[in-house]
Amino acid sequence: MINSEVTQNTDPVLEIRDLYKSYISGSETLAILHSVSFSVPSGISVAIRGESGSGKSTLLNIIGGLDRADAGTVRVGHFNLEQLSEAQMNEYRGRHVGFIFQFHYLLKDFTALENVFLPAFMAGNSKKDATERARQLLADVGMEHRLHHYPSQLSGGERQRVAVARSLVNDPDLILADEPTGNLDPYNSQSVADLLFLNAEKYHKTLLVVTHDDRIAARARITYRLNGGVLEHLDDSGERP
């Protein structure tokens, strides 16, 4: 078992202990995560690397409440995920964690503004407050000139910028980004990564990003690698933001 710890004075926003996850495939049991433990202090950016199939998405999905572990504990803020009912899990997913995927998953019948507005409105904010916040975040990602465009009218990079704005709209404790630039050309990858890291910093978010891109991983304060179900601590650069 490898325990990867980053000690800081602040309480970790994310704390994972002895996480196990396997999938049954025919007569075989595939161990995907094997006693994964780590913690992340508030406001820190973390990159997770690893070969395709190493379990990165499985790990992010468990942290994001989209999947459940076989054993172990995940605490995000004051939420102990393994103890949550389905209703509490919905509340957690909707308000306390922001997700950005490789594919944007924007609602195709809604404009950029509506895609960012809706999660905030559905979380109980007034129409005025949700609109104001959505407009601010879209300006933060340089999309103020495309508020009324539909996803089909936006470029790949623009869609991911909207997804970045959407991930922040409910002011979550934690942003999870699963290969957020995996579908973009190098220029757009860098510009979306810039906006992701800059806004995570601006809004004091803890960011967990899965990436294959060295340049993006190098921007994170801490880097881990998932290998054979085990999480290895690769780098912890105090100099980086």
Task: Tell me the window of 53-61, 66-74, 127-135, 164-172 that interacts with Mg ion (CB under 5 A).
Answer: 53-61
Which residues sit at the interface with ligand ADP, rule CB under 6 A? 23, 25, 30, 32, 50, 52-58
Q: Which does 83 bind (CB under 5 to 8 A by kind): Mg ion, ligand ADP, none?
A: none
Smallest separation (angstroms) from ligand ADP to the CB of 217 = 14
Smallest separation (angstroms) from Mg ion to the CB of 105 = 14
* Calpha distance 124→70 (Å, rounded): 33
| Residue placing its CB nearer to ligand ADP in the complex, 63 or 207 | 63
63 neighbors 74 (Cβ within 8 angstroms): yes
The secondary structure of 22-72 as a DSSP string is: EEEETTEEEEEEEEEEEEEETT-EEEEE--TTSSHHHHHHHHTTSS--SEE
| Site membership for Mg ion, residue 54 (CB under 5 A) | no
| Residue placing its CB nearer to Mg ion in the complex, 57 or 223 | 57
| Site membership for Mg ion, residue 57 (CB under 5 A) | yes
Nearest-CB residue to Mg ion?
57
Query: How, if at all, do strands 12-25 and 97-100 pair?
Result: unpaired
Smallest separation (angstroms) from ligand ADP to the CB of 225 = 11
The secondary structure of 164-191 as a DSSP string is: HHHHHTT--SEEEEESTTTTS-HHHHHH
165 neighbors 196 (Cβ within 8 angstroms): no
| Residue placing its CB nearer to ligand ADP in the complex, 30 or 107 | 30
The secondary structure of 5-16 as a DSSP string is: ----SSPEEEEE
Name the residues that contact Mg ion, by CB under 5 A. Answer: 56-57
